[in-house]
Chains A and B, each alone.
Chain A
Amino acid sequence: MIRAEGAGYSVGRTRLLAEASLRLRPGTLTAVLGRNGAGKTTLLRLLTGELAPESGRVLLDDAPIASLSAIALARRRAVLSQQHALSFGLLVADVVALGRLPHRGTAAAAEDRAALAAVRADFMLEALWRRPYPTLSGGERQRAQLARAAAQLWRRGDRQGQALFLDEPAAALDLAQQGAALRFAGDMAAQGAAVLAVLHDPNHALRADQVVLIGGGRVLAAGPPAEVLTAERLGDCLGVALHALPGPGGQTVFLAA
């Protein structure tokens, strides 16, 4: 559905990403792994249409993503960034409700209440719902922001045509919540959305349909987890020696040496 063809981006003379080619197919979860500063967030910003590539192109359904208006994109594509600060004391309910902003004045606006009730339950925000957002802990804020992204894409039926981008969705969450965040990403893909998640823990990428390794502003490898996730490749990409151990489900798990 979304496709980068040789997409590159620089700031001044610093090349942040060079010739990235990548496909995000409907109904698949793509995990992006790489060190800090490798170009993961730049790739995400190109694929969401926020940045225009300097070289190459980014297509959505075969049309340049820049040809869609910001609002048309927002009705089918949600992004969770790493930025969770808020200078004013909006309530958690207000923050989550902002996810419905792109649907104002459309038929989907009739579902606003249902969407908010659903994501409030899904992300266990009942107790936090009337709390001022700045009083939340880092992990609670992350959950509220995940709920906002979920509210933006909420609809009855499948997720065909939708895209979800998550920049380190597991960061700042406790283990139970990490599981919930990754399940959300997996569920969205299972229902037909194209999902991309930037991750730090290679074990979180095991459940993805496609794994992309990024290093030095280049795509080092892209393919199914069984192919890409080897101790050697991961070690090269992440700059740390890894042990591959047999996991409980017959899978391989990785442990930093």
Chain B
Amino acid sequence: MTTPAILPASRVVFTPKTLLFAALGALFLLALLLEILLGPVAIAPGRLLHLLLGAPADATESAVLWQIRLPRALMAVAVGAALGMSGAAQQGLFRNQLADPALIGVSAGAALAAVTGIVLFAPLQAVLPIPPSLLIPVLAFGGGLAATFVALRLAGTDTAGLLLAGIAVNAACGAATGLLITLSDDRQLRDITFWTMGSLAAGGWAGGGIALLACLIAAVMILPTAPALDALLLGEREAGWLGVRVDRLRLRVVVATALAVGAAVAAAGIIGFVGLVVPHLLRLLGSPRHGLVLPGSALLGAALLLLADTLARGIASPAELPVGLVTSALGAPFFIVLLWRGRLA
């Protein structure tokens, strides 16, 4: 098979990869529009451009767009992209399609720190006079990074060791979180429950902006590792013989995902299954090559979280479901099917 050296100038060739990204881009834009337009105060599509350009408009509509919908959409994009891309990178690193950013303890560490903040808020505020809306995300981010650091220190030099260290960190954080929960009163218990189910409501422009910044830094670190992650699929030794420094690659991926997922969890709580399911969909639709899976998972993760949030706001309107509940409710059956098919195969 040879590729023709010269193509007629007028003929544009669409590779499957180009088409896939075009479809993902279209889905993303559609999801973004739905998230921005739909809700208790619906915004007509024709009005959106007027409102965005700052034309004189109805004050309610303008406030809904600028203070509620747009920051919320920003959160969904940043958190969804961070979770999707981190999931893809970790599945490549562990060479396991069922790996998840939670695996090395980021989420458990963030949850422990956030629950600590919720339960001990009163005594904490005496020392640190900052509002809970700021205190909890800062603690969650720090907790996620700390848990990853502990897992890395425990891990030694191989990937299986990192996995075992992640299990140990998850267990320890889970036990401590459970202990704090038994010590909490009814109101704290309610706060904890809602935090662990995830929500995009509280972040605002600041939360979304910080999550997006963390996601962009992680993307700059992770996207160039695509060829090395491909080589790693052959095996750690085989990748080494191809010139990949596996130890450095592992450190880079773990640090970048801890940053992105830590910021996402800090801004929005625990949102499950996006990091697990999205990279898998990309592999089914396209190819397991990381040059496709990493950016594709960021795009599809953002689109799916936008759609899940639109659903979360719409299903029980005017009440709002936690978005983590929606992603888990949609993701769990998908995961069960994957496991079932794996068992049959």
Contacts and interface: CB of A to CB of B under 8 A. Distances in A.
A85 interface: yes
A129 B260 CA distance: 37
B216 to A, nearest CB: 24
A77 B2 CA distance: 28
B287 A73 contact: no
Contact of B95 (A71, A74, A77, A88): A88
A99 B242 contact: yes
A113 B230 CA distance: 19
Interface string B217-231: 000000000011011
A101 B234 contact: no
A226 B243 CA distance: 37
Nearest to A98: B231
Contacts, number: 74
B301 to A, nearest CB: 19
Nearest to A88: B288
A90 B242 contact: no
B238 interface: yes
Contacts of B241: 48, 50, 74, 77-79, 81
Interface in B78-124: 95-97
A73 B242 CA distance: 8
A17 B147 CA distance: 40
Given A70-B244, A90-B288, A102-B243, A85 B230 contact: no
Given A50-B237, A117-B2, A90 B230 contact: yes
A102 B238 CA distance: 12
Contacts of B233: 86-88, 90
Given A88-B95, A98-B234, 5 more contacts: A69-B243, A72-B243, A77-B241, A91-B287, A101-B230
B281 to A, nearest CB: 14
B39 interface: no
A50 B240 contact: yes
Interface in A77-117: 77-79, 81, 83, 85-91, 94-95, 98-99, 101-102, 104, 117
Contacts of A129: 1
B289 A90 contact: yes
Among all A-B residue pairs, the 6 with the closest Cβ atoms: A74-B243, A88-B288, A71-B243, A102-B243, A79-B241, A87-B95
14 contacts: A50-B241, A69-B243, A78-B241, A79-B238, A81-B237, A85-B235, A87-B96, A90-B230, A90-B233, A91-B287, A94-B289, A101-B242, A101-B243, A152-B242
A30 B336 CA distance: 51
Contact of A88 (B1, B2, B97, B227): B97
B235 A88 contact: no
A126 interface: yes
B252 interface: no
Given A90-B230, A90-B289, A70 B237 contact: no
Contacts of A73: 243
Interface residues of A, number: 33
A28 B345 CA distance: 45
A75 interface: yes
Contacts of A88: 95, 97, 233, 283, 288
B245 interface: yes
Given A70-B240, A83-B237, A104 B245 contact: no
B98 to A, nearest CB: 10
Contacts of A89: 283, 287-288
Interface string B231-259: 10111011011111100000000000000
B2 A94 contact: no
A72 to B, nearest CB: 8
A83 to B, nearest CB: 5
Nearest to A148: B234
A72 B241 CA distance: 10
A156 B240 CA distance: 25
Contacts of B1: 126, 129
B297 to A, nearest CB: 14
Contacts of A69: 243
A86 B234 contact: yes
B253 to A, nearest CB: 16
A90 B235 CA distance: 13
B287 A90 contact: yes
B222 to A, nearest CB: 17
Contacts of A50: 237, 240-241
Nearest to A101: B242
Interface in B279-324: 283, 287-289
A73 B243 CA distance: 7
Contacts of B97: 87-88
A98 B289 CA distance: 11
B243 A98 contact: no
